[in-house]
Structure 1
């Protein structure tokens, strides 16, 4: 319960308390905020702590898990105990009147490929008649390093990218992608770094990862098909990765933890998570031009965020505050649970009908993609991860 007059069923209730960076109307100074109902609490003003006036979450996240827990306890008291109303209320802003910014200064960006249903679908689409999974897929979380400088906050324009593509045995051509795709993903934000040469075990996941956001890792499928061998995605991914403005703390997702799917074969010891399961029951929804096209369930993702972190660091790679890594496209077993258009249109061969009478194989200029997600809250409510939205704009060159 809260003394605030919160909207019924709000996904930003006291059990959530996600952090982000905002600037209020008429003031371009960026500061840390907390989403509560349809309001934003200005932490720089409410706490007086200059760490919340830096314009990113990085400096606060670097303080580590103890500071995260202390702030969360303080915020919970503030929004639930009426004794704090007089001190807190002056620092609340209507959420629809503020500008939201990239929550962290991204240090490194890594994207994984951790949904078995997605990987098998792409294997069947791209390599029919062969095993859908590559030989290594069930042994390790496959991933690639992306471009941190191309990570942008929800609402950033998605400019159709240029690059090379090749059709059949014809020479390659240069031009704007004709197969622009969405990818519904979950991102993990690293708060506390690690020492070089020191792997981070699965059990230490909550000691380093502060929270979760939503990711749309926009993809140019025709560029990707031509460039990805032998080193993987490059220009087909690096033009833009969109993230939601609110980072939901892992502490808010305690009730969403579920066992991961059964793994066969058993992972190598550094990836075993029987005693530290970090599957998360997140219900994603994907909309194109306002029409619901998919409901991917994150709970069935094969490799968890904890295993991804363990694999990312097992070679001794150090974590830095602000590192972001994403799950890869989230897809479930049913067609209405697939998290990309390449799956929903089966490689462009089966156009996806929309309720307005149009159909899509891939995204067209003017299309608006919105990804949202909810999870069980610790108080029995449904908490939200906000949304990540992008509008496709025509190529500019």
Structure 2
């Protein structure tokens, strides 16, 4: 075979690898820009440059132009934009790092990618909801809920998670799946009260805690990152998916409100006790570790997750108590700082940036108290719509803030 034919075969094989890697990265939870940078670096290391990368929703395309102006193009479609798997993200990043540092040829790179995709999960599937249960317990305590309410929230999360997993297996649309999960969370909270296990206010804490964990925070962070980097098609696709989840929560929440009104429960005060700062920080650390497990993070992510939770919670508490920033804004500012710190340390820690951001946000910044207040006011006082809108706006602000922090680090690093 001529040198030209061998070169062409190598180019096509490289493109096959690059599109497979890109699709897997999108599926695991990477934003488009991070995928673009990884693909470009791998292409350069494999001697196929420059390449043109395009991401449009779930579709990724990589193109290379030969010296005689013929274009070689490969396209792959990711299975989903909605998943977030910390361990898979890390395995894929390790493959890309090996390509760049070891100079793997296309065949070896494909084999390394296939092995990474077949890698054993860090935890048995049944263990993941225990991480979610720890996160639920910590969030319930952070908002000022009692120990009984926190334990009930920890018990309620696994069946809600299992329902979502089962509905995903049979391909139920996300709108209806989230609606059913929302209803189940409400039914579990109300049911626990009706059988005398917890009080009305504690049932509201349970419902609000599980609801706040149904907010698609990974998608909001990725949407903001794509929007900041002008990947408008993918950002729009992610935003549409997130809005479907929120729409499902609205639909399910309306059914829960109707159910509770018919139960004629005793009105409760929408205010809860405020935790001491040191306890709020402690539960943020534990919540971040729980969320790392919940999102399939391996053991080597647990310590970085704890540090991310500690750093984020400390920043947020300092903004609130020392700088007197409103809690509605302190979370977004803390997310900016978290995004910058995650971008600065992720490569050294060999942990995906988005994984550090997610565990930090969910451990310390989710607006569980706002959802609790909105739920109680909607049920027993006046309209709680403003609180629900405020809670969603805070979640969006967390994603935008984290993306801004990452962008700030990139700009600082580019300075000569």
TM-score normalized by the length of structure 2: 0.29
Structure showing greater relative contact order (alpha-carbon pairs closer than 8 Å, 6 or more residues apart): 1
Q: Which has the higher strand share?
A: 1
Q: Which has the higher helix share?
A: 2
TM-score normalized by the length of structure 1: 0.30
